[in-house]
Amino acid sequence: MRVLGMLSGTSHDGIDLAVVEFSVAGQVLQARLGEHRTVPYSDELRADLVAALPPGRIGMAEVCALDVRTGQEFAAAAASVTEEFDLVCSHGQTVFHWVQDGAVRGTLQIGQPAWIAEATGVPVVSDLRTADVAAGGQGAPLVPLLDRMLLAPFVADGRPAAALNLGGIANVTVCVPGRPVRAWDTGPANALLDAAAGGLDRDGELAAAGTVDRGLLAELLREPFYALDPPKSTGKELFTAGYVQQFLTRDVSRPDLLATLTALTARTVGDALRGVDVVVASGGGLHNPTLVRALAQELGETELLTSDALGCPGDVKEAVAFALLGFAHVAGLPGNVPGCTGARGERVLGRLAPGRRGVPTVPGLPSWPARLEFVSPAG
């Protein structure tokens, strides 16, 4: 089965897409990565999405329009793929993650899947998070389904291992031999850095020119979210652009603020990953060498790899993960990992928008294979 995975993350800058062909060989799920890239949002849509995020306030008419416009841009991105696929799994765009008293009450992803089905003729799985929330979970993170199979070889060798994604928000999946898989959001990765730099320091040059303000760092680390026990999740409803505005008015230069925010991300990620032997990292934050150096310093002797080393390009790893969730939906297999989200149990995730073509099937797969292995296009 060939599945097109699609999503836009908390950076709200474009649509990551990846076509993945899945096949089963014994206890190995083989994944053959096909066409993959990022399609930028139009400037107008991105500006309107960012303006709609908290603390922005918009009416239902604007919500409806954003839902349609996002769906149309997802549809255009899917239609631009030259490789054939049998199914689309679209995460859409998260615009709000409702957290109250430490519990997730709801989550909203926009980007109507009917536009994708109409443009491609292919059925579309969407709304991947709400079944987990309804079962008492956080609805996030969902990438551990992929992570636990990618990290299985390290765990089989007796090595505690973790996967790290550095998007707008940083999240980790930790696999320790003999223990349940755990995963959670650690806090901001690029979200506060982008807000402080106006999106102009993706390579970390300004941060590299600054000095960490230790007093400010200590103040930032008092954010209550960091003290919560996993499972936990967050987003730009907490780490808003306004979150850093209060610090821009202080006697701190922009380079020093960026250096301090970089240290904040490195510290909160490092604190989450104490005791693991190997970290497999992915996400846009890897393009910021200043952040990567700070993270490596926090991790010390821990081996730091990128997911590219395992055959999964870091920039589209989450798109690959959502392709896997689409495969899970039609196979009738659970897409959540309850120990990671806090749900009462495993759930098949998503709902299906039919296309003109029939829904593909996965016969005779009663449970998940033990590991996932990327294979070359030649097989």
- Which pLDDT tens digit goes with each residue over 117-173? 999 999 999 999 999 999 999 998 899 999 999 999 999 999 999 999 998 899 999
C-alpha span between 55 and 237 (Å, rounded): 7
Given this model, what pLDDT does residue 249 score?
Answer: 66
CB within 8 Å of 14: residues ≥ 6 apart: 8, 38, 39, 40, 41, 46
Mean pLDDT of all residues in 47-74:
92
pLDDT digits (tens, 9 = 90+) for 251-302: 888 899 999 999 999 999 999 999 999 999 999 899 999 999 999 999 999 9
Domain count for the chain, please give it.
Answer: 2
Mapped onto helix, strand or coil, the DSSP state of residue 146 is helix
CATH number of residue 35's parent domain = 3.30.420.40
Same domain, 305 and 264: yes
| Domain enclosing residue 333, as ranges | 2-139+315-375
Structure tokens at 350: 């998503």
Same domain, 340 and 362: yes
> Alpha-carbon torsion 222, 223, 225, 226, what sign?
negative
Same domain, 149 and 278: yes
C-alpha span between 349 and 334 (Å, rounded): 7
| Model confidence at 212: pLDDT above 50 | yes
Helix 113-120 / helix 60-79 crossing angle, nearest 10 deg? 30
Domain end position, chosen among 292, 310, 328: 310
C-alpha span between 9 and 188 (Å, rounded): 13
199: phi then psi, degrees, rounded to nearest 5: 75, 15
Residues of 161-186 as b/e, b for ≥16 C-beta within 10 angstroms? bbbbbbbbbbbbbbbbeeeebbbbbb
Domain end position, chosen among 253, 283, 310: 310
Domain end position, chosen among 280, 295, 310: 310
